[in-house]
């Protein structure tokens, strides 16, 4: 059975930069408080006022990924779009990207709703379609517009200071002699679904989101997170996912050129890399300090930036790892 590879990468963040000091106009916080807990100095947000969605950011990242792969929109046979911030509740955001990018009508479009692990889940799906021979050219996108859905008050501080907007894209094609997606590994545990979630809108309720859910102190339409619980689970699960990928393929940490973890919190990534895995700083790439947590976009954003900086090159062994809402977690081992 043939294998797949990442043939092109692209990323995009909005021009607007929101620093930790900028957040003080809404939130009782400080640059020191945010950096100490998250490692974030700034993030990119779309302009206030609306009109820009995840598909718009994904479109820009996709153009760059296609150019990097030497392909055009007409060459794409399937779109996989990972996001927790869709343009609309339905239809899926992938079809809006298809229209904006100019991918031909009739091309398959699939949305993935696995939050922070969305890109790895999407990569696994794309890998299987390539391996079976069903498709030869798949566009995988992770894109988020978080800023329009955050509680910009001190009440929502723990979540609001973390998230940024952005998009990353990858073109997946059959492998060549140097590059391949070696394996992917996916996991979930729904016992902790409410520890990081958005409660409303909910199809369980009628109406799906009423005045009682959004008025006064009832802000159940904003994301909620139990930070300590997330940290407690994220560290061992991400490490386990890395070890799983290495063991499956008979390679060691010493063989890795780079670990690229989901950019949820720099403190989580530092603990996983240094304390659990024992990796030196130069073998774990982080960019959360200047883009924040971009959820499904974070891994392709980091991978593209890492490559552009020359820290990884074609043929290098790279491990991707993520943990997020669900709880879901996973990893992917690849030759870039």
Q: What is the distance between the alpha carbons of residues 239 and 242, in angstroms, rounded to a whole number? A: 5
For residues 95 and 66, the answer to whether their CB atoms sit within 8 Å is: no
In the set 265, 286, 287, 293, the catalytic residue is 293
In the set 44, 146, 185, 262, the catalytic residue is 262
Q: Which pair of structure tokens corresponds to residue 181?
A: 């997606």
- Classify burial at 311, counting beta carbons within 10 Å of its beta carbon; exposed 0-12, middle 13-18, buried 19 or more: middle
Is residue 293 annotated as a catalytic residue, yes or no?
A: yes
Is residue 249 annotated as a catalytic residue, yes or no?
A: no
Is residue 262 annotated as a catalytic residue, yes or no?
A: yes
In the set 116, 284, 306, 319, the catalytic residue is 116
Q: What is the distance between the alpha carbons of residues 272 and 270, in angstroms, rounded to a whole number? A: 6
Q: Which long-range contacts (CB under 8 A, 24 or more apart) does 24-33 make?
A: 26/152, 26/153, 26/160, 27/152, 27/153, 27/154, 27/156, 27/157, 27/160, 27/161, 28/154, 28/157, 29/154, 29/157, 29/161
Would you name the residues annotated as active-site residues?
116, 262, 293
């Amino acid at each position: 059975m043939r294998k797949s590879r990442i043939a092109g990468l692209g990323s995009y963040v909005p021009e607007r930069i929101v620093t930790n000091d900028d957040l003080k106009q809404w939130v009782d916080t400080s640059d020191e408080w945010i950096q100490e807990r998250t490692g974030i100095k700034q993030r990119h947000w779309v302009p206030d006022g609306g009109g820009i969605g995840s598909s718009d950011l994904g479109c820009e990242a996709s153009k760059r990924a296609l150019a990097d792969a030497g392909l055009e929109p007409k060459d794409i046979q399937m779109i996989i779009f990972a996001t927790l911030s869709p343009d609309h509740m339905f239809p899926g955001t992938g079809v809006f990207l298809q229209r904006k990018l100019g991918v031909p009508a009739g091309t398959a479009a699939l949305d993935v709703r696995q939050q922070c692990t969305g890109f790895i889940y999407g990569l696994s799906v794309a890998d299987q379609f390539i391996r079976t021979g069903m498709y030869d050219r798949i566009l995988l996108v992770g894109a988020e517009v978080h800023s329009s859905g955050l509680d910009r008050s001190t009440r929502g501080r723990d979540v609001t200071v973390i998230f940024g907007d952005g998009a990353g894209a990858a073109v997946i094609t059959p492998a060549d002699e140097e590059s391949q997606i070696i394996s992917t590994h996916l996991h979930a545990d729904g016992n902790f679904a409410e520890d990081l979630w958005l409660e409303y809108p909910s199809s369980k309720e009628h109406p799906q989101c009423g005045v009682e859910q959004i008025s006064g102190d009832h802000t159940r339409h904003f994301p909620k997170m139990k930070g300590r619980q997330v940290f407690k689970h994220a560290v061992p699960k991400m490490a386990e996912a890395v070890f799983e990928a290495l063991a499956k393929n008979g390679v060691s940490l010493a063989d890795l050129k780079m670990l690229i973890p989901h950019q949820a919190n720099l403190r989580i990534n530092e603990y996983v890399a240094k304390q659990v895995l024992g990796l030196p700083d130069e073998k774990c790439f982080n960019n959360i300090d200047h883009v924040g947590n971009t959820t499904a976009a974070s891994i392709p954003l980091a991978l593209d930036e890492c490559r552009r900086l020359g820290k990884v090159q074609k043929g290098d062994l790279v491990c991707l790892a993520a943990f997020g809402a669900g709880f879901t977690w996973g990893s992917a081992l690849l030759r870039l």
